[in-house]
Structure 1
Amino acid sequence: MTGNSKIAIYGALAANLAIATVKFIAASVTGSSAMISEGIHSAVDSGNSLLLLLGMKRSQRPPDRGHPFGHGKEIYFWSLIVAILVFSLGGGMSVYEGVSHLQHPVELRDPFWNYIVLIASMLFEGASLFYAVREFNRSSGGSGFFRELSMSKDPGLFAVIYEESAAIAGLLIALLGVFLGHYFNEPMFDAIASMLIGVVLIFVAITMVRESKGLLVGESANNEIVKGIYDLVNSEVKVETLYFPLTMHLAPNEILLALDVEFKKEMTVEELFDSVNDLEEKIKQAFPSVKKIYIEAKNFGGRQRPWQIETVD
């Protein structure tokens, strides 16, 4: 788990706590349904940040007899819980607020404080999103931002990016709803804005559920890492046949690697043992995130055709 992930979450937590308080105060003064939805959104985001921090802390516990590979996947469990909360509390309650205000319109009052709060919130949320994206880009490859984001193994960063993006989209919708509601003197626009904010949150929650589910079930390392390991091991003179490397993320920066390697048959047991140790050191040096390596070594039998690395377009 990177320190950058924690800093991004702490920044988002501080911003959301302050913004949620101000939004609820503004909603109580102006009676805006969209502002209530935005306050709920920020409050949920604050709780989600705390859950992600809890997941990070628990995932760093050392291995024990019950969990010989450690507790790294716990961060993926808590990121799934965060996605469910965004869906139910954030999206569900925002849609409910919109429907409720549509059925029972509330007279809109002076929107001045709504505008102040929404614009200030955009600045804070934008700063938090900018920092999270900057830290994400530092650790990503060259496959493009959205592709890298979909392949990210670090919920501490991708959850903040998804949530802050949804926050800015929600603020824009709320701003438009407040403006149209007062311009046409029609509370319906404010209620519709609240429902649209809920739809945005539900969409983001579904995206986060998909990402977290893949990591929790057991997701392979990125193709660049797998292919890099394949090329490194296959280039060894003493390797006769290398089959497809099997990888799985145990945590954002912890990969389990299993290799089925057939060495040249004329090697002695001592040479085979030394070659395996040498391969492990080279792999860990080239790919620091590979923490656990299991090599099934053989030095008998002829050369067979190895499995091929499949490149993902």
Structure 2
Amino acid sequence: MASDGSRSVVLVALAANFGIALAKFAAAAWTRSSAMLSEAIHSLVDTSNQALLLYGLNRARLPADARHPFGYSREIYFWSFVVAILLFSMGAGVSIYEGIEKLRDPHPVTDLWINYIVLSIALLLEGYSAYKAMTQFETSRGRRSWLTALRASKDAALFTVLLEDVAAVTGLLIALVAMIFLQVFGWTQADAIASLLIGLLLASVAAFMSIEIKSLLVGEAASPKVLAGIEAILGQKIGPSGPLLAINELRTMHLGPQDILVAASVDAIDGLPAEKVEALTSELESAIKAKFPDVRRLFIETQSIAGHRAASAGETAPEAQASEAQTSESR
């Protein structure tokens, strides 16, 4: 389930981009600027993207049912991937096409002051939206670099909005510089080149988003911190007086930003009564979920080390036991 912070960031970005898109389209129609048209399309794509993210956030909150027993948390990853595709196809594709057309068939840009006004207002709104996204992202970044934190983040909605806002601010600055070159130096190709640069920028951001979100769709493990914490809780039961002998295997997977699936195989001491195994499992589950609330589904099985190795190797437990018995007899 996505956090309320991510939802508020998406809402701010949606409102900002919708107003900016309308202003940019009006300015592009008036001044015939390709860079402004590219920016208008960019803002329109961003607006539709945030609407899709909101839809994904709402879908991710649906409870589990018979058809989807693990819930709908992964919907936010799917819709974030759709956003990346739209950003690449519509945002980058149209901007690059518009820039090429402007190079082939140049036409003058009129009333540059309108572009300056719209770009300045857009920079303020996009800057505020980017600030909100960065502030929210900083709460989870820690001491990691921005790139490392982005790649490690499981909150697709948040880092999608963050990347879109950063790309939007950068695109606006490119368009603004193009207007200055056009006005001061009379470089008529500046407008078309700015459109191409904006398209390449959006394509790069969309490619990065696609790679990272694809990894989340396939299934990413919990962070090393969570893994170490779960291992520590399980390890507290391992020892001379503990009921566990070893941790056979520990696997985790993010179903959503705040929805982690955990499957663990542990080896209990021989002769432990079934009721004590049940009590131990419940105790471990409560301890893990208390320390890591994002762990919403936890499965713990007790299995001997030999049995686990046999199962992992594609053998059945009885076959492994028979093999061990034959080895003992030969000795």
Residue type of the alignment partner of 1:282? A
Query: CA shift at 1:81, angstroms?
Result: 0.5
Instruction: Give the alignment partner of residue 293 of structure 2, picking from 288, 294, 302.
Output: 288
Please say which of residues 280-289 and 107-116 is displaced more in the overlay.
Answer: 107-116
| Structure 2 residue 284 is the aligned partner of structure 1 residue 279 | yes
Counterpart in the other structure of 2:320: none
Q: TM (normalized to structure 2)?
A: 0.88
Counterpart in the other structure of 1:204: 205
Q: Say if 1:182 and 1:298 are closer, same or farther in 2 by CA, change over 3 A.
A: same
Query: CA shift at 1:121, angstroms?
Result: 1.1
User: In percent, how many aligned pairs have the same letter?
Assistant: 43
**Structure 1: gaps (5+ residues):** 305-313
Q: Hey, what's the Cα distance between the residues in 2 that align with 1:254 and 1:238?
A: 29
Q: Hey, what's the Cα distance between the residues in 2 that align with 1:290 and 1:73?
A: 15
Counterpart in the other structure of 2:47: 46
Is 1:264–1:300's contact at 8 Å kept on the other side of the alignment?
no
Residue type of the alignment partner of 2:135? R
The CA RMSD over aligned residues, in Å, is: 1.7
Please say which of residues 288-297 and 181-190 is displaced more in the overlay.
Answer: 181-190
Q: Any residues of structure 2 matched to 1:69-108 within 5 Å, and which?
A: 69-108=70-109
| Structure 2 residue 248 is the aligned partner of structure 1 residue 247 | no
Query: CA shift at 1:231, angstroms?
Result: 1.6
Deviations 1:270-308 (A, max 9, x none): 211111110000000010000000111136879x9xxxx
Is 1:240–1:263's contact at 8 Å kept on the other side of the alignment?
yes
Counterpart in the other structure of 1:175: 176
Q: Hey, what's the Cα distance between the residues in 2 that align with 1:44 and 1:3?
A: 23
Counterpart in the other structure of 1:65: 66
Counterpart in the other structure of 1:134: 135
Structure showing greater Rg: 2
Is 2:249–2:266's contact at 8 Å kept on the other side of the alignment?
no
Residue type of the alignment partner of 1:188? Q
Is 2:84–2:206's contact at 8 Å kept on the other side of the alignment?
yes
Q: TM (normalized to structure 1)?
A: 0.93
Residue type of the alignment partner of 1:231? A
Please say which of residues 139-148 and 88-97 is displaced more in the overlay.
Answer: 139-148
Secondary structure in 2 aligned to 1:68?
Answer: coil
Q: Hey, what's the Cα distance between the residues in 2 that align with 1:220 and 1:291?
A: 14
Secondary structure in 2 aligned to 1:231?
Answer: helix
Deviations 1:155-204 (A, max 9, x none): 12000001001001101111111111222223211100000000000000
Query: CA shift at 1:208, angstroms?
Result: 0.8
Residue type of the alignment partner of 1:53? L
Secondary structure in 1 aligned to 2:166?
Answer: helix
Is 1:8–1:157's contact at 8 Å kept on the other side of the alignment?
yes
Residue type of the alignment partner of 2:36? M
Q: Hey, what's the Cα distance between the residues in 2 that align with 1:166 and 1:140?
A: 20
Q: Hey, what's the Cα distance between the residues in 1 that align with 2:286 and 2:127?
A: 43
Query: CA shift at 1:264, angstroms?
Result: 2.1
Is 1:267–1:299's contact at 8 Å kept on the other side of the alignment?
no
Is 2:81–2:210's contact at 8 Å kept on the other side of the alignment?
yes
Is 1:265–1:301's contact at 8 Å kept on the other side of the alignment?
no
| Structure 2 residue 262 is the aligned partner of structure 1 residue 257 | yes
Query: CA shift at 1:245, angstroms?
Result: 1.5
Counterpart in the other structure of 2:4: 3
Q: Hey, what's the Cα distance between the residues in 2 that align with 1:141 and 1:242?
A: 30
Q: Say if 1:144 and 1:231 are closer, same or farther in 2 by CA, change over 3 A.
A: farther
Q: Say if 1:131 and 1:300 are closer, same or farther in 2 by CA, change over 3 A.
A: closer
Counterpart in the other structure of 1:308: none
